[in-house]
DNA sequence: CTATGCGGGTGTC
DNA sequence: GACACCCGCATAG
């Protein structure tokens, strides 16, 4: 980033997409787009990005959040709505101090099954925290292909913790699959089962952790401890650069077990997209759903983002340790609460410019809206699908993007903003964030102000439940943003 | 099986 | 008409 250049600076605080005035529903989207944004895996807030048409991640309409397709009756614009996150109804603390934050299954059927399962840690029910970040409705993401660019627009601010990212889920599954089929595992499993029958119920489903200790507990629990370093979590997501990611991913046969073969980043910040910077920085590592750390076992290579994180927290004012609250304490007063937000959000929703918002607007978490974290043990409201039916546009056809190269992050296309901007001192991010999201700061941040303390990528032993390991249940200890990777949950 | 997309269809405002 | 959503179907990995 050529600091000093006013334009460039401006570019840093605003994604390219945000610098231009456009709306996903516009009959005519900006043409001759010269600059593109780097892919943002964890977008939050009312943001807009413009990706190159050959950006694989954009082509796949990927998102760290669990987004499901919703019918907006507009074949030109693909609309997706957030499913929220699945947590333990009792909000128990996992053995490693983290909280369960599963990725809701996208498939309705699969989700139903998922919700029937129980917390692998305390056996209590799982609870789906539906997203209500968009005026009481799920946050929505819109994708539209336009000649040479893929336009992305998000509406709403996630008011729930981040679920496990898709990449993490996939990586874990593949790892688990491998492990499950490995002779070593089969042997262990057998042994474990025999042990279980021998000690049956001598301490619950898992006189467990004890046994676990000698059975790779972490593995069994599929706990993915987060890195000690508050990496800009979902920033340098594998999605940002399919190419660099692929190798490690595809060769997952080993990356989960050993230090990731992925190209280590000397400075994660470089990969922190401004788009959600405010957000991501606010909660580095957030929910522990850190695809980055998930893929990087060796945290030593992951510089700390603490600074930036702190910075954001400060700007956000109060620190909300929502993540540590018992789910029952985090009631969400329902739609009524959104009215207020509705007003606040009014004007942000559409066609938001890079208006500047004062940091104060971040007190956002002040209770209401964004930070609601699921209702009381009550059954989560029926999953809502938000479909902001996009006006029918008959411009270009929104069809699958032809396969291009994976030069997603072509430096040439990622000028100032994405690359340089990221190298800037984190100090500037907070503000950038505000601007970009038009003040719609992320609430998710509130769920995680703490950074994981240990990087330990353990594979999950899907399908295995060790039951009543209640040692940590209900403990009010500070919850570390670790993610409990409960395999099939 | 699950993720994704598509699109018909319904109910509400 | 716009929007939220349910549901089934199809395809792909």
Domain range for residue A240? 6-173+217-484
CA distance A206 to A24: 51
pLDDT in tens, A268-311: 222 233 333 333 333 333 333 343 333 333 333 333 333 333 33
Strands (E), A204-280: 223-225
Residue A265: phi and psi, rounded to 5, are: -100, 125
Residue A78's nearest nucleotide, by CA–C1', is: B5
With respect to residue A195, please indicate whether it lies within any of the assigned structural domains: no
Task: Assign A68 a pLDDT band (cuts: 50, 70, 90).
Answer: very high
A166-170, A201-205, A302-306: range with highest mean pLDDT: A166-170
- pLDDT above 60 for A382: no
With respect to residue A292, please indicate whether it lies within any of the assigned structural domains: yes
With respect to residue A273, please indicate whether it lies within any of the assigned structural domains: yes
- Residues 6 or more apart whose CB falls under 8 angstroms from that of A287 comprise A85, A99, A101, A161, A162, A163, A323, A444, A447, A448, A481, A483
- Strand B neighbours (CB under 7 Å) are A 60-62, 67-69, 71, 73, 75, 78, 80, 103, 105-107, 109-111, 113, 166, 169, 398-399, 488
Positions on chain C within 7 A of a protein C-beta: 2-7
pLDDT in tens, A106-136: 998 899 889 888 888 898 889 899 998 888 8
With respect to residue A203, please indicate whether it lies within any of the assigned structural domains: no
- Residues 6 or more apart whose CB falls under 8 angstroms from that of A82 comprise A65, A66, A67, A131, A133, A138, A139, A140, A141, A156, A158, A386
Name which residue leads in pLDDT, A116 or A370: A116
What is the DSSP code (8-state) at residue A360? Answer: G
With respect to residue A124, please indicate whether it lies within any of the assigned structural domains: yes
pLDDT number for residue A83: 93
If you search the block for the tokens 């700061």, which residue do you land on? A441
Name which residue leads in pLDDT, A464 or A11: A11
pLDDT number for residue A187: 62
> Residue at minimal CA–C1' distance from C13?
A170
The tally of domains found in chain A comes to 1
pLDDT number for residue A456: 34
Helix ranges (H only) for A89-159 are 108-116
Positions on chain B within 7 A of a protein C-beta: 1-9
- Strand C neighbours (CB under 7 Å) are A 70-73, 81, 108, 134-135, 137-138, 140, 382-392
With respect to residue A181, please indicate whether it lies within any of the assigned structural domains: no
- pLDDT above 50 for A182: yes
Residue A138's nearest nucleotide, by CA–C1', is: C4
pLDDT in tens, A306-351: 333 333 332 232 333 333 333 333 443 333 333 334 333 443 444 4
With respect to residue A62, please indicate whether it lies within any of the assigned structural domains: yes
pLDDT number for residue A58: 92
The least confident of A121-125, A372-376, A420-424 is A420-424
Residue A108's nearest nucleotide, by CA–C1', is: B2
With respect to residue A489, please indicate whether it lies within any of the assigned structural domains: no
pLDDT number for residue A409: 35
Residue A385's nearest nucleotide, by CA–C1', is: C5
Task: Assign A163 a pLDDT band (cuts: 50, 70, 90).
Answer: very high
- pLDDT above 70 for A211: no
């Amino acid at each position: 980033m050529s600091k000093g250049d006013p334009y460039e600076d401006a570019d840093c605080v605003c994604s390219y997409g945000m610098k231009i005035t456009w709306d996903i529903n516009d009959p005519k989207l900006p043409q001759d787009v010269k600059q593109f944004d780097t892919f943002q895996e964890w977008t939050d807030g009312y943001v807009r990005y413009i990706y190159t048409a050959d950006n694989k991640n954009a082509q796949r309409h990927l998102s760290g959040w669990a987004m499901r397709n919703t019918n907006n009756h507009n074949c030109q614009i693909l609309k997706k709505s957030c499913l929220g996150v699945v947590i333990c109804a009792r909000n128990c603390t996992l053995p490693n101090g983290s909280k369960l934050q599963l990725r809701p299954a996208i498939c309705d059927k699969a989700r139903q099954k998922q919700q029937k399962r129980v917390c692998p840690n305390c056996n209590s029910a799982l609870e789906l925290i539906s997203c209500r970040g968009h005026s009481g409705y799920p946050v929505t993401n819109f994708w539209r292909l336009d000649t040479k660019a893929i336009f992305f627009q998000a509406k709403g601010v996630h008011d729930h913790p981040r679920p496990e990212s898709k990449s993490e889920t996939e990586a874990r599954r593949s790892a688990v699959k491998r492990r499950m089929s490995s002779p070593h595992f089969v042997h262990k499993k057998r042994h474990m089962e025999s042990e279980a029958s021998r000690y049956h119920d001598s301490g619950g489903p898992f006189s467990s952790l004890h046994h676990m200790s000698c059975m790779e507990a972490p593995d069994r629990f599929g706990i993915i401890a987060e890195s000690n370093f508050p990496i800009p979590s979902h920033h340098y997501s594998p999605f940002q650069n399919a190419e660099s990611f692929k190798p490690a991913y595809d060769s997952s046969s080993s990356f989960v077990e050993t230090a990731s073969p992925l190209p280590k980043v000397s400075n994660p910040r470089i990969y922190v997209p401004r788009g959600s910077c405010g957000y991501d920085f606010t909660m580095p590592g957030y929910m522990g759903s850190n695809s980055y750390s998930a893929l990087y076992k060796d945290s030593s290579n992951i510089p700390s983002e603490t600074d930036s994180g702190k910075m954001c927290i400060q700007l956000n004012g109060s620190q909300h340790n929502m993540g540590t609250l018992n789910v029952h304490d985090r009631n969400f007063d329902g739609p009524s609460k959104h009215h207020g937000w509705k007003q606040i959000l009014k004007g942000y929703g559409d066609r938001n410019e890079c208006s500047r918002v004062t940091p104060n607007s971040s007190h956002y978490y002040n209770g209401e809206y964004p930070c609601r974290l699921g209702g009381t043990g009550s059954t989560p409201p029926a999953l809502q699908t938000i479909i902001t039916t996009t006006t029918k546009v008959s411009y270009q056809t929104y069809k699958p993007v032809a396969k291009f190269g994976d030069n997603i992050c072509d430096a040439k296309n990622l000028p100032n903003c994405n690359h340089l901007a990221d190298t800037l001192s984190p100090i500037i991010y907070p503000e950038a964030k505000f601007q970009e999201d038009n003040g719609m700061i992320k609430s998710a941040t509130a769920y995680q102000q703490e950074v994981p303390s240990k990087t330990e990528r353990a594979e999950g032993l899907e399908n295995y439940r060790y039951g009543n390991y209640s040692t940590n249940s209900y403990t009010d200890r500070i919850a570390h943003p670790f993610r409990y990777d409960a395999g099939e949950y």
